[in-house]
Amino acid sequence: MLGLAATTTTTAANTANAAYNRALCVVQLCNSLQPSHFSQQPSVVFFRIPSSSLRSNIRPISAMAESDTVLVSKSESYSSSSGKKQVLISLSDKGDLASLGSGLQALGYTIVSTGGTASALEEAGVSVTKVEQLTCFPEMLDGRVKTLHPNIHGGILARRDQKHHMEALNEHGIGTFDVVVVNLYPFYDKVSAAGGISFEDGIENIDIGGPTMIRAAAKNHKDVLVVVDSSDYPALLEFLKGNQDDQQFRRKLAWKAFQHVASYDSAVSEWMWKQTVGDKFPPSLTVPLSLKSSLRYGENPHQKAAFYVDKSLSEVNTGGIATAIQHHGKEMSYNNYLDADAAWNCVCEFKNPTCVVVKHTNPCGVASRDDILEAYRLAVKADPVSAFGGIVAFNVEVDEALAKEIREFRSPTDGETRMFYEIVVAPKYSKKGLEILRGKSKTLRILEAKKNEKGKLSLRQVGGGWLAQDSDDLIPEDIQFNVVSEKSPQESELHDAEFAWLCVKHVKSNAIVIAKNNCMLGMGSGQPNRLESLRIAFRKAGEDAKGAALASDAFFPFAWNDAVEEACQNGIGVIAEPGGSIRDGDAIDCCNKYGVSLLFTNVRHFRH
């Protein structure tokens, strides 16, 4: 009995003290807020606090000296037992805020909001309860602390089906939130803006309260709807109008919220790593991907597929096929993206006006000329059979003349069949050129892309993991072509070797390219042995191979009665290869015997 009495007395005292503290909090808030914080003259309610229950060591407020009654604003009353439907809104991006606020108010929701969001709602004629009126604390520390308070997070996190949760809210005078609408400081845009941002400014743009509210609401999504995307505002209002309880809808919003915060945190983490260490390979790596499109199928019709854009800070404004603009044609397919990427990566390597034709990610034709029309014709001529149905890429504008040539050009195999392509990709198009290309075919995909920047991180998936490496950005100007044979190449032969070497880095291993006068004559790709790739290249090049340059992506393991000797016997003028074989001496001796120049680059170009 004694224990029960003590417990009852303690509970009563705690309840009274909680009420006293709430009243004290309200009075302190009223003293701290300026009159401008209230949009209208507050009405009056009364809190009655039994003086007999107060602890003896609590000093009374002067306004309470003669009475146990405290006068407070009705707008400060936040009893969870009131049955009010409350929405918490805190937005950095205030797009469509007015329509959202009006819609929620029309549905009978009380809107609680912060600083700039509250002001924007008031300007739109929407009634707002400011967060300070619930927390009894003004915004402080330059806005760093606004919503980090039990009166906010208690109302978000409380489970409605847990009696002790609701009793706790009632005990502390905390109201529940039914909807939380939050988006975050524009950290991504700030740190990726042209000219950069100082470290201190970057830190200040890291949102703390926003992600905390989003995560809290998403965790308690069974009771609290959380919205982070303005495109979901109409669906939210429709859901609330229907007075339904669709848990799948709630879960979808919760997933989107967690994903939103995860992407945000990955940007902060990436930026902080670069500011601190800067190494390309951190101990932990998160790659934020954003769905660009669902594809008809994957590499084959029985495989489902989708295309995602890499939203890493390192990819901002760095070009590439992922951010290309499609002006015309059918939707891109899985294989289209792979082929277009291969063609674009290759053509962007060349300084002079160049055309590249790709089939199944391999360049089957490459030519550089001052006259881009001639370059186009030569690139197709290198392998017209493979070029048919391929991808054509240019590193210069497609104007009216070039567009007409693409539209009307006939296959060199018979001079009659009009060439068909899946994709044309270029850095830009003239108005007339684009109009003409659109008339070639309803299905022709016309892409406008920005050149890939150097220094990117290359990622590739294997079962259960990812491989990461620097992109292969080396061009002929970055390396030395060392003469190791008795015969030195003429200037034109050296130039042919450099051109062939630049082409072969884009061909699947084992790779051989034969080139002359800035034009690929033949290539062999993807064979398990280098000798077979060499023979394929010679079959395509034919008699034009005499006096041409040959480039290999890796060293020749054998020379005599093998690839090097066959190349020499077929009339090649100069060979460029990395070197590094234990039989390099044989390759040198073989070239000396046939009077062929041999260049070692010391750079391998495997492509798997």
Give the catalytic positions in this structure.
219, 360
**Strands 305-310, 325-328: pairing kind:** unpaired
The torsion angles phi and psi of 228, rounded to 5 degrees, stand at -120, -5
Which tokens is 49 given? 């606090």
The CB density around residue 48, as the number of other CB atoms within 10 Å, is 11
Give the residue ranges of DSSP H helices in 148-295: 150-157, 163-172, 187-191, 199-204, 209-219, 233-241, 247-276
Residues 6+ apart with CB under 8 A from 356: 343, 346, 347, 363, 365, 366, 379, 392, 393, 394
Q: What is the DSSP letter of 349?
A: T
Question: How many angstroms separate the Cα of 88 from the Cα of each of 91, 109, 214?
Answer: 10, 10, 11
Rounded Cα–Cα distance for residues 579 and 593 (Å) = 18
Rounded Cα–Cα distance for residues 191 and 187 (Å) = 6
Rounded Cα–Cα distance for residues 600 and 574 (Å) = 11
Whether residue 111 contacts residue 121, with contact meaning beta carbons closer than 8 Å, is answered with yes
Which tokens is 367 given? 């030519």
Packing angle of the helix pair 163-172, 150-157 (nearest 10 deg): 160
Residue 460 identity: R
Q: Strands (DSSP E) along 84-155, which ranges?
A: 86-90, 110-113, 129-130
Question: How many angstroms separate the Cα of 14 from the Cα of each of 6, 9, 49, 53, 58?
Answer: 12, 9, 12, 9, 13
Cβ-defined contacts of 478-482 (< 8 Å, 24+):
479/601, 479/602, 479/603, 480/601, 480/602, 481/576, 481/599, 481/600, 481/601, 482/599, 482/600, 482/601, 482/602
Picking from 501, 492, 518, the residue whose alpha carbon sits closest to that of residue 370 is 518
